[in-house]
Structure 1
Amino acid sequence: MDDEPMWAADHVVTLIPSSAITIPESAKEFAIKGNHLTLVKGNQFDGRTKTDPHKHIHEFLRIRDMFKYRDIENEVVRLMMFPLSLTGEAKTWLDELNEGTIETWDEI
């Protein structure tokens, strides 16, 4: 049973998950550079008790603030990149928040 392809299983797979973080419509066509994403993904927070969320946020902001993007606000870039800095239980926490729960960086 475990070797069956996911489309053959008796469960529903959500194709497009909703997001707890609201990204402004003006940023929908904006793309973050791949090497910037690589740096953010290299500093992922897993939400375990032995990891420090404050240290993660500080490091995330340090990495994020190394880049300058024209035509888009820094806060929007932070909101777009932040989910990629989470993994494991921290990512699950974010994914389980109601859609549109977070609209500003301060709310994170």
Structure 2
Amino acid sequence: MAQNPERTIKEMTSLDLNQQPLCIEYPTLDVDFELKTGLIRLLPTFRGLAGEDPHKHLKEFHVVCSGMRPQGVTEEQVKLRAFPFSLGEKAKDWLYSLPSGSIVSWNELKKQFLENYFPASRTITIRKEISGIRQFFGENFYEYWGRFKHLVESCPHHQIADHLLIQYFYEGLTEANRSLVDAASGGALYENPYRSTQIDQNHGIQRPTIWE
């Protein structure tokens, strides 16, 4: 078999004018479909910057895409095509860096996105913050509750049982606010049998059929 002649340095350093395919392998559709400009403008933007919440981005992205249901096109197919338009700056660079054709489903794309922007180390950090939360000096009950709630919601897969969440929240209260919670729950919180206790913002515990 004849061998190709050795390439010259000029040939090896010449520009590749072929368009590299995206990492997403789009499924073939039975109908004509294109993303409307109006939909693209409604999409949230995730830039991959420090402090951005990837879970919140996915929620907002879902809200926009779920409102668009073209006939013959599934929501997953809409999301696969729309997601690149919801990324900017570093996040778009990340998407372009993935191997061509490596993404074939929305779940796989979402998994890759979360693994990159919400790694296991971040989950561990948030779990520690939840278990060690403390009410700040000068922080009222409502502000503390809001901070705790935001922390928990920022990591949907924290896998901390509800009764432990309540324990961490309660132990982090100042002594004065802990007394208010005890009074609102009809006595010391730890003396009440727990089933599905929920903390609310009114200095206390909601207890619809949870106490015996």
- Shorter chain as denominator, the TM-score bin is 0.7 to 0.9
Gaps of 5+ in 2: 1-13, 110-212
Gaps of 5+ in 1: 1-10
Shift of 1:29: 4.1
Cα deviations by residue, 1:19-61 (Å, 9 ceiling, x for unpaired): 1111012279421122111111xx1100011101111011100
Which of 19, 38, 52 does residue 22 from structure 2 map onto? Answer: 19
Give the aligned partner of residue 40 of structure 2.
Answer: 37
Does structure 1 conserve the Cα–Cα contact (< 8 Å) formed by 2:31 and 2:73?
no
Matched, 1:85 2:75: no
Give the aligned partner of residue 65 of structure 1.
Answer: 66
Higher RCO (C-alpha under 8 Å, 6+ residues apart): 1
Does structure 1 conserve the Cα–Cα contact (< 8 Å) formed by 2:30 and 2:72?
no
Q: Which amino acid aligns with 1:69?
A: P
Could you tell me how far apart the structure 2 residues matched to 1:58 and 1:13 are? 38
Q: Which amino acid aligns with 2:65?
A: R
In structure 2, the CA distance between the partners of 1:95 and 1:14, relative to structure 1 (3 Å rule), is: farther
Does structure 2 conserve the Cα–Cα contact (< 8 Å) formed by 1:24 and 1:76?
yes
Could you tell me how far apart the structure 2 residues matched to 1:94 and 1:28 are? 27
Does structure 2 conserve the Cα–Cα contact (< 8 Å) formed by 1:37 and 1:81?
yes
Structure number, greater radius of gyration: 2
TM-score by length of 1: 0.79
Does structure 2 conserve the Cα–Cα contact (< 8 Å) formed by 1:20 and 1:100?
yes
Structure 1 runs, 4 residues or longer, greater than 4 Å off: none
SS at match of 1:25: coil
RMSD over aligned Cα atoms: 2.1
